[in-house]
Amino acid sequence: MSEPLDERILTVVSAHLAVERTALQPQTRLDVDLGLDSLARLDLAMRLEDDLDVALPDGAVTEPITVAELVEAVLRALGGISPAAGQPPRR
């Protein structure tokens, strides 16, 4: 069984930032808690795009404040996948 998309996103972020996966809680703030400045966010965006084969829109990584908001932004770019189920939302 493959890893859910939200977990894959967190795995990429964890590896890129060299932080333990457990440090990435939904409320973890990208700037204050993880120390991401604007350049680090752009670098993270490139890593996410490469590893997840997705084109992130402008602001997808520069605007989110928390890890949860970052995951939501990346999931939206991947086509509206629901993070809770790792599946497209039912219509």
Sole residue written with tokens 């997705």: 54
- 57/29 Cα distance (integer angstroms): 21
Question: Helix or strand or coil: residue 62?
Answer: coil
Q: What is the pLDDT of residue 31?
A: 93
User: DSSP labels for 7-63?
Assistant: HHHHHHHHHHHT--GGG--TT-BTTTTT---HHHHHHHHHHHHHHHT--PPTTTTTS
Tally of CB atoms within 10 A around 55: 9
Q: Does residue 88 register a pLDDT over 50?
A: no
**pTM, to two decimals:** 0.81
Domain-wise residue ranges, the chain: 5-77
Homologous superfamily of domain range 5-77: ACP-like (1.10.1200.10)
pLDDT (tens digit per residue) in 33-70:
999 999 999 999 999 999 999 999 888 888 889 999 99
pLDDT (tens digit per residue) in 69-83:
999 999 999 886 555
Q: What is the pLDDT of residue 59?
A: 87
